[in-house]
């Protein structure tokens, strides 16, 4: 019998797992996909939000800034990539100043101490490539960007090192309350027992809750499409640039990623099912709306489109609660700013577990540190790495020339306690395949290393071709946008 079973290995499930791993508890994390961070965690805006946009009256309003304040220490311990670059909410009309002031006051109510409203000249000094029609902006100095899937991977690796058991490719299809806890059944009819269950199932969290008779909320998938530009394209801006938020979200943003790509999006469309495909018409609209922020966008720098699915609850808030079913805790409806709030959500879940009499005895062997797989470095000129591209297998052999990932890095990523069985799993950990050619060159080379490590053949196209997702490609979107320019 496990002390705690966590369902879902996104940023919330892995944050909770890592927080629990400092105690002498037996913990298992179930994930129906083949890797951690496979849902909203791998496809979002990668923003560490300031904490001013969420109402002070809501749960997420109280957790965002609490979570944001922990990112410096978490990154020092886990090395997933975090940079406090600041954010600006841009106002282009005089009558938007009142809304900026509302956001400012709400931020103060949420505890922020690094907010100010700045004028046109101050904005242009900070962001010379912003639309010169801008009149005001809300500046948050401590907002930033991170690599969200690397963060979840780092949390999971550290949790596993400290004794947490990962159960990938394991979908929980039934949960039965027992006198001393719960019996969970997976899709292979294997059964597990746990004293406590934490539901961190993302878009499936309402389905999981109904397994124990909790049906007081529903989850609606809300899709948001993005355009990602080549590494180095973000040098036109310095901060995360928001337009004024709407009831559907924080509006179209233009932002650097942690690695210097320019990211544009998302839109917001409520869906009946979680469709992760991308569409030329939606991407065109996003691109044109983003040009209102800056006219320096270059669609020829495009390398990839993707769709993130947000789990929107019928309560329009985070649902973090100890339910009437004793020992069953919901972490549902965790849309934006879920990434930023995740450390604080984990703290709240541990508090709920303590109130349910879960025993917490610190593990004297707990190690909070995790070595990085990769670090942010400038890419070398191709002529410097060329001699290492076609050499025989060796640690320094360059496998991915776009992102300059060597063989030793790939092997390291495969030996950290979490099974890595797909090329895309390597991509998320090492950036092999994240560059200009999007894996055209390195995918077969990655496969060669993986098969040697695993001792068996792998399907190199599994995540890409078998997912059922249709993404708009590079040539298609460049041609489409050039043909439909405003």
Interatomic CA distance for residues 204 and 320, integer angstroms: 15
Asked if 173 and 186 touch (Cβ cutoff 8 Å), the reply is: yes
The pLDDT confidence band at residue 486, using thresholds 50, 70 and 90, is low
pLDDT band at 226 (very low <50, low <70, confident <90, very high): very high
> Could you report the per-residue pLDDT of 385-394, keeping only the tens digit for each?
999 999 999 9
Are residues 483 and 463 in contact, defined by beta-carbon separation less than 8 angstroms? no
The model's pLDDT over 415-464, given as tens digits with 9 standing for 90+, comes to 999 999 999 999 999 999 999 999 999 999 999 999 999 999 998 888 76
Q: Can you tell me the mean pLDDT for 168-175?
A: 98
399 neighbors 415 (Cβ within 8 angstroms):
no
pLDDT for position 250: 66
Q: Does domain 1-83+146-218+314-372 have CATH number 3.10.20.30?
A: no
User: 198 falls in which pLDDT band (50, 70, 90)?
Assistant: very high
pLDDT at residue 270 in the model:
87
Domain boundaries defined on the chain: 1-83+146-218+314-372, 84-145+221-313, 382-455
Considering the chain, what is the average pLDDT of its residues?
A: 96
The CATH architecture annotation of domain 382-455 reads Orthogonal Bundle (1.10)
Pick 84-145+221-313's CATH classification: 3.30.9.10, 3.30.365.10, 3.30.2320.80, 3.30.300.210.
3.30.9.10
Nearest alpha carbon to residue 403 among 442, 372, 371: 442
pLDDT band at 274 (very low <50, low <70, confident <90, very high): confident
Query: Which among 30, 7, 6 is positioned nearest to 19, based on CA atoms?
Result: 6
User: Token digits for 7?
Assistant: 């369902």
Whether omega for the bond prior to residue 72 falls within 30 degrees of 0, making it cis, is: no
**Rounded to an integer, what distance in angstroms lies between the CA atom of residue 20 and that of residue 348?**
12
The stretch 54-70 carries a mean pLDDT of 96
Catalytic residues: 49
Q: For 167-310, where are the alpha helices, taking DSSP H only? A: 205-210, 280-290
Q: List the one residue out of 307, 278, 274 whose CA is nearest residue 202.
A: 274
Helix (H, G, I), strand (E, B) or coil at 45: coil
């Amino acid at each position: 019998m496990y002390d705690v079973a966590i369902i879902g290995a996104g940023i919330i499930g892995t944050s909770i797992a890592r927080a629990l791993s400092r105690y002498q508890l037996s913990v298992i994390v179930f994930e129906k996909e083949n890797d951690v961070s496979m849902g909203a965690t791998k496809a979002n805006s990668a923003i560490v939000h300031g904490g001013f946009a969420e109402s002070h009256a809501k749960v997420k309003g109280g957790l965002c800034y609490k979570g944001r304040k922990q990112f410096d220490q978490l990154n020092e311990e886990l090395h997933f990539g975090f940079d406090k670059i600041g954010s600006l909410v841009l106002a282009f009309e005089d009558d938007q100043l009142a809304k900026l002031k509302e956001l400012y006051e709400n931020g103060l109510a949420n505890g922020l101490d690094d907010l100010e409203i700045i004028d046109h000249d101050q904005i242009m000094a900070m962001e010379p490539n912003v639309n010169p029609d801008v009149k005001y902006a809300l500046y948050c100095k401590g907002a930033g960007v991170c690599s969200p899937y690397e963060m979840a991977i780092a949390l999971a690796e550290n949790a596993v090192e400290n004794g947490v058991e990962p159960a990938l490719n394991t979908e929980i299809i039934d949960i039965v309350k027992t006198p001393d806890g719960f019996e969970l059944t997976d899709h292979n009819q294997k059964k597990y027992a746990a004293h406590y269950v934490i539901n961190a199932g993302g878009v499936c969290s309402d389905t999981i809750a109904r397994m124990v008779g909790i049906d007081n909320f529903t989850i609606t998938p809300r899709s948001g499409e993005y355009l990602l530009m080549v590494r180095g394209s973000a040098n036109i801006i310095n901060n995360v640039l928001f337009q004024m938020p709407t009831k559907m979200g924080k509006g179209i943003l233009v932002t650097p990623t942690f690695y210097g790509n320019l990211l544009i999006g998302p839109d917001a469309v409520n869906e009946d099912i979680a469709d992760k495909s991308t569409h030329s018409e939606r991407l065109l609209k996003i691109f044109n709306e983003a040009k209102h922020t800056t006219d320096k966008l270059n669609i020829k720098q495009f390398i990839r489109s993707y769709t993130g699915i947000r789990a929107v609850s019928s309560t329009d808030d985070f649902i973090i609660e100890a339910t009437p079913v004793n020992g069953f805790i919901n972490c549902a409806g965790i849309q934006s700013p879920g990434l930023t709030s995740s450390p604080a959500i984990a703290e709240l879940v541990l508090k709920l577990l303590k109130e349910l009499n879960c025993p917490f005895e610190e593990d004297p062997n707990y190690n909070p540190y995790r070595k990085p797989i990769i670090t942010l470095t400038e890419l070398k000129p191709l002529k410097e790495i060329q001699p290492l591209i076609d050499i025989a297998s060796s640690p320094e052999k360059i496998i991915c020339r776009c992102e300059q990932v060597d063989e030793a890095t790939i092997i390291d990523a495969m030996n950290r306690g979490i099974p890595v069985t797909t090329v895309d799993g390597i991509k998320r950990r090492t950036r092999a395949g994240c560059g200009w050619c999007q894996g055209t060159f390195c995918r077969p080379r990655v496969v060669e290393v993986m098969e040697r490590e695993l001792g068996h053949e792998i399907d190199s196209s599994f995540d890409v071709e078998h997912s059922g997702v249709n993404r708009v490609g590079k040539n298609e979107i460049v041609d489409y946008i050039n043909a439909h320019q405003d």
